[in-house]
């Protein structure tokens, strides 16, 4: 079994702060200095997010293979669920599950919407989509390689049901960015 965080307390804090920064400033790319060496295909940044946030109280779905699941279970204690719609946290190492099928919470408890971690090919700030919304002064640009072609349409549908919705963490190697449900994406401009 590969180890988790070298320092479970301080590395978890650093990983959380990176996710918090990413969520508070959508589209900025955060780098994790102390991400764990997770078994493939789990990206170090995705592994750090799970170890920092998942535990016995967070039903977890993932498409990762058995060995990787064993590593997650050992280090987090999170119970796995088979159906994506039952999960509080999801880790997609290959194809992103459709956003419309995930837990979105209710109008009274929108915080019960899921957090989906998607591993992507690359995150390049300064190019690509024009992002706006809370956390962004004017606009921010981010190019993401590896999301489904219809992602902007899926995301617009996710944003339209606010306050219900799913929040996204994008992980590429040791880098991560986040899309809170308030984020607006424009493909051109």
Partner 1 sequence: MRDPVRSPEGAGAPGAEHRRREPEGRDPHYNFAYLDEATKRMIRRAILKAIAIPGHQIPFGAREMPLPYGWGTGGIQVTASILGPSDVLKVIDQGADDTTNAVSIRRFFARTAGVATTTRTAEATVIQTRHRIPERPLREDQILVFQVPMPEPLFRLEPRLAETRRLHALADYSLAQVKLYEDIAQQGESASSYNHPVLVNGRYLMSPSPIPGFDNPKLDRNPALLLFGAGREKKIYAVPPYTPVKSLDFDDHPFAPMRAPHPCALCGSTTHYLDEIVTDDRGGRMFVCSDTDACAEAAGRAGAAR
Report the residue from 27, 151, 180, 185 that binds partner 1 according to the rule CB under 8 A: 180
Does the footprint of partner 1 cover residue 134 (CB under 8 A)? yes
The CA distance from 22 to 17, in Å, is 8
Backbone φ, ψ for residue 111 (5° rounding) = -65, -10
Backbone φ, ψ for residue 146 (5° rounding) = 110, 10
Does the footprint of partner 1 cover residue 154 (CB under 8 A)? no
Binding window for partner 1 (CB under 8 A); candidates: 2-10, 39-47, 121-129, 149-157: 2-10
**Min dist. Cβ of residue 179 to partner 1 (A):** 9
**Min dist. Cβ of residue 57 to partner 1 (A):** 7
Nearer to partner 1, 23 or 66 (CB): 23
Q: Tokens for 40?
A: 């493939």
Could you count the other beta carbons within 10 Å of the beta carbon of residue 143? Answer: 12
The CA distance from 31 to 122, in Å, is 13
| Residue 150 · residue 3 · CB < 8 Å | no
Report the residue from 19, 60, 170, 171 that binds partner 1 according to the rule CB under 8 A: 19
In three-state secondary structure terms, 188 is coil
Report the residue from 29, 38, 53, 120 that binds partner 1 according to the rule CB under 8 A: 53
Task: Judge if the upstream peptide bond of residue 41 is cis by omega within 30 degrees of 0.
Answer: yes
Does the footprint of partner 1 cover residue 8 (CB under 8 A)? yes
- Binding residues for partner 1 (CB under 8 A): 8-10, 12-14, 16-17, 19-20, 23-25, 52-55, 57-58, 106-108, 110-111, 113, 115, 134-137, 162-163, 165, 167, 180-182
């Amino acid at each position: 079994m590969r180890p988790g965080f070298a320092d479970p307390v301080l590395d978890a804090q650093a990983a959380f702060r990176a996710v918090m920064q990413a969520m508070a400033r959508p589209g900025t790319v955060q780098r994790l200095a102390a991400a764990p060496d997770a078994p493939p295909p789990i990206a170090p940044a995705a592994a750090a997010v799970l170890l920092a946030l998942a535990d016995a109280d967070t039903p977890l779905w993932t498409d990762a293979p058995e060995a990787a699941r064993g590593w997650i279970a050992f280090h987090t204690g999170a119970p796995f669920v088979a159906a994506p719609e039952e999960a509080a946290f999801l880790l997609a190492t290959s194809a992103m599950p459709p956003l419309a099928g995930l837990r979105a919470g209710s109008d009274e408890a929108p915080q019960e919407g899921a957090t989906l971690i998607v591993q992507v090919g690359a995150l390049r700030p300064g190019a690509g989509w024009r992002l706006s919304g809370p956390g962004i002064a004017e606009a921010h640009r981010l190019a993401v390689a590896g999301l489904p072609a219809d992602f902007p349409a899926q995301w617009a549908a996710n944003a339209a049901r606010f306050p219900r919705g799913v929040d996204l963490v994008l992980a590429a190697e040791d880098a991560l960015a986040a899309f809170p449900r308030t984020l607006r994406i424009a493909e051109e401009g």
